[in-house]
Structure 1
Amino acid sequence: MFGRLRRDVRAVFERDPAAKSLVEVLLCYPGLHAILMHRVAHFFYRKRLFVVARLLSQFSRWLTQIEIHPGAKIGEGLFIDHGAGVVIGETAEVGDNVTIYQGVTLGGTGKEKGKRHPTIGNNVVISTGAKILGSFTVGDNAKIGAGSVVLKPVPPNSTVVGVPGRVVVQDGRRVSPAGPPVIDLRHDLLPDPVAEMINSMLTNIKYLENRVRELERSAGADRTVPPETCEDGFE
C-alpha cells in the first residue's frame, strides 16, 4: 500500500511542473485524493461489501468532483490532472503510468452486463474532454486528443483525434532508447486531419491552374472571354 502511495505521489512530481512540495501534493491535489480513496473503496468492493465501497466512492466524488467506480481496476502511477468531471466506470481497467486530464470519461455504450468499459494500456495520455466508450483496449503509449470520442480499439503507439476518434499517427512517437518509457504529455501538439485535407486540396487546385495556363499557352489560345449577349441583343 505504501509503495503504491509513493508511486502515485512521484507521478505528480514527474508530470506536473506546478508541484512544489510533498505537503502541497498531499493536501491540495484532488486527483491524488480520488486515487487514494478509490484504492480503499476497491478493497471493500473485492470483499463484496458493495454498499460500503459505493459510499466511499460517493464521498470521494463529493470531495474531489472525480467519480471512480469502486469496481474499476487502477494501476500504479495514475495521474489525474485537476480532474473535475472525470468518470471511470465499473469494469474499466487502467494500466500503469497513465495520465488523465479533466472531463475524461471511461464509459460504456449501453446496459449490457459484464465487461462494458475500456481497458487502458500503460503510458497512455488521455487529453481534456475525451470520451472512451465501450469494451475495447487502448494500446500502450497511445495519446487521445482533446474532445475525441473513441469507439473502437486503439493500437499501441498511436495518436487519436476527432469525433468519432480516428488514428492519425502510429509508431511515430519517440521512444527513449534506454531506461523507462518516456510519457509524451504534449497533448497540444496533435495533427489536424481537416487542415491537412484542405492544404492537400489547395495544392491540387494550384497544380491544375498552372497546368491549364500551360495548355493555353501551348495552344496559343486567347484567354479574353467575350461578353455575354442577352436574348434581346443587348450586352
Structure 2
Amino acid sequence: MSFIHRFIYSLLLIPHLIVYKFSPVKRTINMDLKRWAIEKNISGSNIKLLIRFLSLSPDFRTIFYFRNRGMITSLLNIYCPKEKYFRIDMSTKLGAGILTGHPYSTILNAESIGENLYVNHLVTVGEVNGKRPIIGNNVSIYTGAIIIGGITIGDNVKIGAGSVVTKNIPANSTVVGNPARIIKQE
C-alpha cells in the first residue's frame, strides 16, 4: 500500500516539477537539494531528490514555495501544503543551501540570510523598530534561539539553543545564553 500511496503522491507533484524546470532560481534550488541530500546521505538526480523532499518534507516545500512565490505555488500549496508553522517573511533575501531541523514554530524575518543556513525549531529571527538582522554564510541557529533587531551575524557563527542575540556577533564565533555571549571565537 505504501508504494501505491507514494506513486499517486508523485503524480501530484508533476506541477511542482514544471515550476522547477522553468524557475528563475533553479540554481539556488539545486543548492538546497544538494545540501539536503548530503545531510540525509541520499543520492540521485535533482528531479528524484526534488520529488523525494517535496513529498516527504513540508519544510522543504515551504522553502520551495518561498523561492518560487506566485499564483501557481499558492495553488499547489492547497493540495500539497507547506509547513504552516514555518514562516519566511517574503522580503527576506534568503541564500542557497538552507537546511532545517524540523522548523516547527520558526520565523525567519531578516534583511538577508547568507548561504548554508541551518535552522532548528522554535527559532525567531525578527525585527525591532523596523530593523532586521543581517545573517552571514554558514550560520547555524539552534532550538529556541532569538535573533532580533538591526544587528549583523558574521559568517561561520553558531548560535546555541535558547540564546537571545541582540548585538552584533563577529565571524567564526559560538554564542550561548540570554543575553548571548561569545564562548568561542577563532
TM-score bracket for this pair, using the shorter chain length: 0.7 to 0.9
Q: Percent identity, aligned pairs only?
A: 34
Kept after mapping to 1: 8 A contact 2:93/2:112: yes
Compute the RMSD of aligned alpha carbons: 2.2
1:106 equivalent to 2:125? Answer yes
Secondary structure of residue in 2 paired with 1:160: strand
In 2, Cα distance between equivalents of 1:26 and 1:15: 16
Equivalent of residue 162 in structure 1, options 177, 181, 186 = 177
1:4 equivalent to 2:28? Answer yes
Q: Where does the alignment leave 5 or more consecutive residues of structure 1 unmatched?
A: 45-51, 172-235
In 2, Cα distance between equivalents of 1:84 and 1:145: 17
Residue of structure 2 in register with 1:48 after alignment: none
Q: Where does the alignment leave 5 or more consecutive residues of structure 2 unmatched?
A: 1-24
Equivalent of residue 76 in structure 1, options 96, 100, 111 = 96
Higher strand share: 2
Cα gap change, 1:105/1:10 in structure 2, threshold over 3 Å: closer, same or farther?
Answer: same
Equivalent of residue 149 in structure 1, options 142, 161, 164 = 164
Cα gap change, 1:16/1:102 in structure 2, threshold over 3 Å: closer, same or farther?
Answer: farther
TM-score (norm 2): 0.73
In 1, Cα distance between equivalents of 2:137 and 2:162: 21
Query: How far apart are residue 20 of structure 1 and its match?
Result: 7.7
Residue of structure 2 in register with 1:225 after alignment: none
Equivalent of residue 25 in structure 1, options 39, 43, 53 = 53
Equivalent of residue 66 in structure 2, options 30, 38, 42 = 38
Structure of greater relative contact order (alpha carbons < 8 Å, 6+ residues apart): 2
In 1, Cα distance between equivalents of 2:59 and 2:174: 24
TM-score (norm 1): 0.59
1:57-89 residue CA offsets vs partner (Å, 9 max, x unmatched):
xx69x7302111111110010112211111011
In 2, Cα distance between equivalents of 1:75 and 1:34: 15
Cα gap change, 1:140/1:36 in structure 2, threshold over 3 Å: closer, same or farther?
Answer: same
In 1, Cα distance between equivalents of 2:93 and 2:171: 20
Kept after mapping to 2: 8 A contact 1:9/1:32: no
Residue of structure 2 in register with 1:121 after alignment: 136
In 1, Cα distance between equivalents of 2:28 and 2:101: 18
Kept after mapping to 1: 8 A contact 2:106/2:121: yes
Equivalent of residue 63 in structure 1, options 82, 102, 112 = 82
Secondary structure of residue in 2 paired with 1:106: strand
Aligned residues: 151
1:137 equivalent to 2:152? Answer yes
